[in-house]
Amino acid sequence: MIIIPAIDIIDGKCVRLTQGDYSQKKIYNENPLEVAREFEDAGLTRLHLVDLDGAKAGAVKNWKVLETIAAKTSMVIDFGGGIKKEEDVKIVFNSGAALATIGSIAVKNETEFVKWLLQFGANKFLLGADVKDEKIAVAGWLETTDVWIYDFIEKYINHGVQQLFCTDVSKDGKLEGPSIELYKNIISKFPQLHFIASGGVSSMKDLDELESIGCAAAIVGKAIYENRITLTELKKFI
C-alpha cells in the first residue's frame, strides 16, 4: 500500500481543517515546500496537494505552491481544489502536477469532465468522492446529493478513470479511524480500481487495516501533523 501524505494550502501555508470547516483552521507550517521535502526525505514518493482557497473560490489559486514543490522535489503530485474549467486543468498540469484531482465537477457537470478525460487522458485524473451515508456530498460537504457512491464509481470507471479516493465526510479530520466497511464494499464491487482511502486515519493500526482490506493507497494528513503517526513509522510501507 502506498502512503500519500496530504498538504492543504490556504494563503500559501500548510494548514488542516476539521470536517472541511474553514473556521476550524490550524496552520502547521508557513512553508509547504519544507513539509514536502520532509516527506520526500522520509522516502515517500506521492503527494496529495489541496488548494483550499481554490476550492472556496471555484478557481485554482495556489498553483505557485504546486510549481515550487514540483520543481524542487521529485514527488508525484496530485493537485485539486477549484478545478472548474479547462483553463484550470491546464494550469495544474503546466505547474507540474502528475494528476488533477476532480471532485464536485464530476458530480455537477459530467459533460465537461468527460470532455477533459478524452482531451487529457483518463489516466491523468484522480477522482475524489466525498461521501455521507453512501451518497456523494459536494460544495465543501455542505450539500449531500442523491447520487449513490457505487453508481458514481461505475460510471467513471466506464469512462476510463483508474484512480479514486473516497472520504467519509463524517470521519475527516477527526482522527476517529477510517470507514472500513464502506471501503471494503467499494473494493469488492470494483476490484480493478486503484482505490485510495482518505479521511479519519489516526494510527498505524488504521493503516495496517486499510492495507489488509486491499486499499492500493491511503491519504494521511492530520495524523502526521499531530504526531499520531511518525514519518519513521511510515517507512514500513516504503
Q: Is the pLDDT of residue 140 over 70?
A: no
CB atoms inside a 10 Å sphere around CB 154? 13
Rounded Cα–Cα distance for residues 60 and 195 (Å):
25
Residue range 204-233: average pLDDT?
Answer: 96
Q: Is the pLDDT of residue 75 over 80?
A: yes
Angle at 99 between CA 186 and CA 234, to 5 degrees: 65
Beta strands in the chain (DSSP E): 2-10, 13-18, 21-29, 46-51, 76-80, 99-102, 125-132, 135-138, 143-148, 163-168, 194-198, 217-220
Q: Is the pLDDT of residue 215 over 90?
A: yes
CA dihedral of residues 184, 185, 186, 191 (deg, nearest 10): 80
Percent of the chain with pLDDT over 90: 84
Residue 5's pLDDT is 98
Residue 138's pLDDT is 82
Residue 170's pLDDT is 75
Q: What is the largest CA-CA distance in the chain?
A: 44
Mean pLDDT of the chain: 94
pLDDT grade, residue 221 (50/70/90)?
Answer: very high
Residue range 120-140: average pLDDT?
Answer: 91
Instruction: Check: CB of residue 64 under 8 Å from CB of residue 13.
Output: no
Instruction: Check: CB of residue 153 under 8 Å from CB of residue 129.
Output: yes
Q: Is the pLDDT of residue 4 over 90?
A: yes
Residue 52's pLDDT is 94
Rounded Cα–Cα distance for residues 163 and 182 (Å):
17
Q: Is the pLDDT of residue 143 over 90?
A: no
Known active-site residue 8: yes
* SS3 at position 236: helix
Known active-site residue 133: no
Go through the chain and tell me how many residues it has: 238
Rounded Cα–Cα distance for residues 129 and 135 (Å):
9
Q: Which of 8, 51, 78, 172 is catalytic?
A: 8
Rounded Cα–Cα distance for residues 199 and 220 (Å):
7
Q: Which of 88, 130, 168, 172 is catalytic?
A: 130
Q: pLDDT tens-digit profile of 12-58? A: 999 988 777 888 889 999 999 999 999 999 999 999 999 999 999 99
pLDDT grade, residue 134 (50/70/90)?
Answer: very high
Sorted by where each starts, the structural domains of the chain and their CATH numbers stand as 2-237 (3.20.20.70)
Instruction: Check: CB of residue 192 under 8 Å from CB of residue 163.
Output: no
Residue 173's pLDDT is 65
Angle at 52 between CA 66 and CA 226, to 5 degrees: 90
Residue 214's pLDDT is 98
Residue 27's pLDDT is 93
Non-local (6+) Cβ contacts of 164 within 8 A are: 126, 127, 128, 129, 153, 156, 193, 194, 195, 196
Residue range 154-182: average pLDDT?
Answer: 89
Of 55-69, 106-120, 135-149, the range with the lowest mean pLDDT is: 135-149
